[in-house]
């Protein structure tokens, strides 16, 4: 499998020779590469995702691929920020420009200082650009929770990239209502941080499930954010794709 290697330092010092670079095209190419990596992992019978569940261990190659997905997505965001900054500001020359990401718990009135530090001059030059970048944040919409989570996993995996994902010890409960319908729920404290039931392997026979009870389950979880891998990759790839399109609109 061929993979695109990522730079450790995503910031770019922009010069006159950079003006003809289509950073949105580069960002989209990185997202496409991230999507191909996601498909390589898979989420169906016989795919590498299931192989990891059956074996009880996540291969080193898969850990590296997951890390590369995150690096590609983070770099794509930075390309968007650099293009928007160049269009509306471009000053000071030599600025290191990053996509602004507010940590979870950040208040809306704290975002301007983050924007000014990472994309200097843009908020003052363009209110629509400032509002757009503000709308991407988790404080603007809980559906954007993937953004600070992406920042977390990227930062953590700089030094511990082979511990990106794990197979946690989790339990799930099967019961039946008065109409005989099976009900499934995670034991208290065992569910992923958000989302519906993940793609998982239930360690029980069909007859055991039909009788009901508490059983062990296995799924791939991102260690630092306690999110199931497949769901988070979907959120992050879709989210970055939306950011690229919205940023492109700002400069056209």
pLDDT at residue 16, rounded to an integer: 46
pLDDT at residue 157, rounded to an integer: 61
Task: Using alpha carbons, list the distances in angstroms from residue 39 to 33, 34, 71, 98, 243.
Answer: 10, 9, 16, 28, 21
Vertex 142: Cα angle to 27 and 187 (nearest 5): 115
Q: What does the pLDDT look like over 35-51, one tens digit per residue?
A: 999 999 998 889 999 99
H or E element in which residue 227 lies: strand 227-228
The torsion of the CA quartet 7, 39, 225, 71, rounded to 10 degrees, works out to 10
Q: How many CB atoms lie within 10 A of CB 90?
A: 16
pLDDT at residue 146, rounded to an integer: 97
The torsion of the CA quartet 170, 217, 69, 147, rounded to 10 degrees, works out to -50
Residue among 161, 204, 169, 164 at smallest CA distance from 56? 169
Which positions of the chain have pLDDT values less than 50? 1-9, 11-17, 161
pLDDT at residue 166, rounded to an integer: 87
Do the Cβ atoms of 118 and 84 come closer than 8 Å? no
Q: What does the pLDDT look like over 116-139, one tens digit per residue?
A: 999 999 999 999 999 999 999 999
Vertex 91: Cα angle to 89 and 97 (nearest 5): 85
pTM: 0.86
pLDDT at residue 223, rounded to an integer: 86
pLDDT at residue 182, rounded to an integer: 77
């Amino acid at each position: 499998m061929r993979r695109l290697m990522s730079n450790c330092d995503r910031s770019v010092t922009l010069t006159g020779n950079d003006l003809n670079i289509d950073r949105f095209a580069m960002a989209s190419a990185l997202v496409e590469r991230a999507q191909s990596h996601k498909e390589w992992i898979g989420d169906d019978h016989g795919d590498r995702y299931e192989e990891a569940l059956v074996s009880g261990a996540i291969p080193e190659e898969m850990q590296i691929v997951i890390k590369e997905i995150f690096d590609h997505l983070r770099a794509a965001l930075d390309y968007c920020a650099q293009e928007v900054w160049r269009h509306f500001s471009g000053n000071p020359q030599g600025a290191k420009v990053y996509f602004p990401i507010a940590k979870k718990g950040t208040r809306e009135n704290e975002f301007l200082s983050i924007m000014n530090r990472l994309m200097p001059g843009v908020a003052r030059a363009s209110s629509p650009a400032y509002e757009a970048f503000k709308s991407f944040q988790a404080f603007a919409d809980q559906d954007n929770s993937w953004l600070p989570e992406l920042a977390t996993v990227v930062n953590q995996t700089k030094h511990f990239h082979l511990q990106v994902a794990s197979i946690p010890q989790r339990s799930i409960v099967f019961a039946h209502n008065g109409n005989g319908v099976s009900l499934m729920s995670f034991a208290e404290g065992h569910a992923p941080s958000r989302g519906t039931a993940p793609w998982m392997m239930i360690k029980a026979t069909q007859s055991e499930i039909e009788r009901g009870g508490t059983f062990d389950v296995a799924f791939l979880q991102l260690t630092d954010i306690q999110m199931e891998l497949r769901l988070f990759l979907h959120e992050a790839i879709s989210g970055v794709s939306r950011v690229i399109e919205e940023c492109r609109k700002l400069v056209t």
